[in-house]
Amino acid sequence: MPITSFVEVQPDSHFPIQNLPFGVFKPQPESEPRPAVAIGEFVVDLSVLADAGLFGGPYLRNTDCFHQPNLNKFLGLGRPAWKEARATLQKLLSADESTLRDNASLKQKALLPSSKVQLLLPIAIGDYTDFFASQHHARNCGVMFRGPENPINLNWFHIPIAYHGRASSIVVSGTDVIRPRGQASQSPKSPPYFGPSNKLDFELEMAAVVGPGNELGKPIDISEAADHIFGLVLMNDWSARDIQAWEYVPLGPFLGKSFSTTISPWIVTLDALEPFISHPAEQIPPPFPYLTEKEPKHYDISLQVSIVPSGEQHESVVTRSNFKHLYWTITQQLAHHTVNGCNLRPGDLLGTGTISGPEADSLGCLLELTWNGQKPLSLDGNISRTFLLDGDEVIFTGCCKGDGYIIGFGKCSGKILPSP
């Protein structure tokens, strides 16, 4: 029998007491942002609980980490503090604990209906890195752009390939996405034209939120990598395929990506995901020792993308994938990132790359689903798409099915607005 909360939680809610994802919100438009966890249809204001002296454990007693406009300070405290916060909150919110349950005035201050508050970007992101960790995605892109003979470069099987992304343009779910303008060309040898992107795409990703991090010059050992990951979010790495194709040789993606990247407002902790660990297949060739894990871990997280086409109300599911389809684990990604001495800081974001599965209906972007626009995708109601049109809304959801509860990520959505 799973533990329950005095807060009513619907059986299909993403946010039961087993989850308690962390975020940041403003109760009123003019309020200061402050940390929260989600439970059912409510947000729990952690600054109120801290003011009431309810974080009495050794790690949180003397910190102002819940009186901050983002979670970075809390992230910097590390896993012992994260576990203490989670245990404290699970106890305070449980059905048989009276402290908060029977204190009507505190409860009214601390528990606010989610529908009435504004959710914000939960972290100040110092650096954002995007990996390329799905073999299915790497193969499909390789076949499309370099041909079927040798679709994946040899380096891909040895390195969790990644590039630096743009941190300033990361936005929270619900923020509109303005169609980027830029240069594109019919082929790398043809002269370019300039205009709004005609190949605007989503990329279904998740991202790891970094905890304490490391000093410059001191790599994080793979055996300690998990202690530097607080949790996961859903991420849409919006991509303008035409801009990207023209610009990316030889230094990688730039303006084809940097116009917007959307993340979900709630960070689901690795602690909440613990029951959903999934063991990946053996990696062949075996990775270098600095990437070799005693017990490699993925998480069994069902992911879904739907589109609400411009002018419609109804959403059509366009893909169903799973986090466990990745080849490289998030701990391998993190260890690789620091092996050269690069320093990670609290709040850094490590995107997984597009999470494509093996089947035709589990591909993580329109580039793959429509084979670069050659096979239009049928949506409900006699509507079809190659790439996104102005007014289209893209909605990602993700969840793990537990025994009598769901651990979910809520949603990560954005609607396309026309170019200026």
**Selected binder of its own copies within 68, 88, 260, 329 (CB under 8 A):** 260
Q: Is 168 in the site for its own copies (CB under 8 A)?
A: yes
257 binds, among Mg ion, Ni ion, Ca ion, none (CB under 5 to 8 A by kind): Mg ion
Q: In the window 272-291, what residues touch Ca ion (CB under 5 A)?
A: none
User: Closer CB to Mg ion, residue 259 or residue 327?
Assistant: 259
Q: CB-based contacts of 84: which residues, under 8 Å, 6+ apart?
A: 55, 57, 58, 59, 60
**Selected binder of its own copies within 91, 101, 107, 158 (CB under 8 A):** 158
Site string for its own copies, 8-47 (x = CB under 8 A): ----------------------------------------
Q: Is 257 in the site for Mg ion (CB under 5 A)?
A: yes
Q: Is 165 in the site for its own copies (CB under 8 A)?
A: yes
Instruction: Point out which residues bind Ni ion (CB under 5 A).
Output: 127, 167
**111, two tokens:** 């528990």
CB of 219 to its own copies, least distance (A): 7
CB of 290 to its own copies, least distance (A): 7
Residue 307, strand partner residues: 316, 394
- 158 classed as catalytic: no
User: Closer CB to Mg ion, residue 168 or residue 187?
Assistant: 168
Is 203 labelled as part of a ligand binding site? yes
**Selected binder of its own copies within 7, 162, 377, 383 (CB under 8 A):** 162
Q: Is 207 in the site for its own copies (CB under 8 A)?
A: no
Q: Is 211 in the site for its own copies (CB under 8 A)?
A: no
Total interface residues for its own copies by CB under 8 A: 65
SS3 of the chain? CCCCECCCCCCCCCCCCCCCCEEEEECCCCCCCEEEEEECCEEEEHHHHHHCCCCCCCCCCCCCCCCCCCCHHHHHHCHHHHHHHHHHHHHHHECCCHHHHCCHHHHHHHEEEHHHCEEECCCCCCCEEEECCCHHHHHHHHHHHHCCCCCCCHHHHCCCCEEECCCCCEEECCCCEECCEEEECCCCCCCCEEEECCCEECCEEEEEEECCCCCCCCCCCHHHHHHHEEEEEEEECCEEHHHHHHHCCCCCCCCCCCCCEEECCCEEEHHHHHHHEECCCCCCCCCCHHHCCCCCCEECCEEEEEEECCCCCCCEEEEEEEHHHCCCCHHHHHHHHHCCCCCCCCCCEEECCCCCCCCHHHCCCHHHHCCCCCCCEEECCCEEECCCCCCCEEEEEEEEECCCCEEEEEEEEEEEECCC
Our measurement of the distance from residue 69's CA atom to the centroid of its chain's CA atoms, rounded to an integer in Å, reads 20
Is 380 labelled as part of a ligand binding site? no
Identified catalytic residue from 14, 137, 325, 337: 137
CB of 237 to Ca ion, least distance (A): 4
CB of 374 to Ca ion, least distance (A): 21
Tell me which residues touch Mg ion (CB under 5 A).
Answer: 237, 257, 261
Binding-site annotation: residue ranges: 130, 132, 146, 203, 205, 237, 244, 248, 257, 261, 354
Tell me which residues touch its own copies (CB under 8 A).
Answer: 126-127, 132, 153-155, 158-159, 161-169, 171, 178, 180-183, 185, 188-189, 191-192, 194, 216-219, 240, 243, 246-256, 258-260, 285, 288-290, 336-337, 339-345, 348, 417, 420
Catalytically active residues are: 137
Binding-site annotation: residue ranges for substrate: 132, 146, 244, 248, 354
Binding-site annotation: residue ranges for Ca(2+): 130, 203, 205, 237
Binding-site annotation: residue ranges for Mg(2+): 237, 257, 261
